């Protein structure tokens, strides 16, 4: 029985190393996702969502779905974010009239 390290063994080692590297990259990107989404949408609890996401990844994905859903929710007692039309760029009626060509004259 030959115990030397051949070309096929080296190839298998490289394939396994690439698979492990890709797996780590996927896990890290999934771990960052809920926190990134929460920060992007200015969620008031973005830090807690980020922490729960990483704890969820560390526990084998148990809490990660909860963090992902939490990133999409609005906490109780807070109003949802205003749209671009309502956030200081004029009221929605003015913006709609400007796009439709209506000069704001009502019969």
Q: What is the pLDDT along the chain (107 residues), one digit of tens a residue?
A: 567 888 899 999 999 999 999 999 999 999 999 999 999 999 999 999 999 999 999 998 899 999 999 999 988 777 665 554 455 554 445 444 444 555 555 55
**3-state class (DSSP) for residue 84:** coil
Distance CA 3, CA 80 (A): 66
pLDDT attached to residue 76: 79
How much is the pTM?
0.63
> 3-state DSSP call for residue 107?
coil
Q: What's the half-sphere exposure (Cβ side, CA atoms, 13 Å) at 64?
A: 15
Q: Where are the beta strands (DSSP E) in 7-103?
A: none
Cα 70 to Cα 44: distance, rounded to the nearest angstrom: 11
Closest to 64 in 3D by CA, of 76, 74, 53: 53
């Amino acid at each position: 029985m030959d115990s030397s390290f051949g070309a096929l063994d080296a190839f298998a080692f490289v394939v396994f190393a690439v698979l492990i590297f890709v797996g780590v990259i996927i896990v890290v990107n999934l771990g960052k996702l809920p926190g990134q989404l929460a920060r992007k949408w200015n969620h008031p609890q973005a830090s807690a969502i980020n922490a729960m996401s990483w704890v969820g990844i560390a526990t084998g994905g148990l809490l990660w779905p909860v963090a992902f859903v939490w990133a999409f929710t609005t906490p109780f007692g807070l109003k949802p974010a205003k749209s671009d039309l309502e956030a200081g760029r004029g009221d929605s009626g003015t913006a709609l009239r400007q796009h439709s060509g209506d000069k704001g004259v009502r019969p």
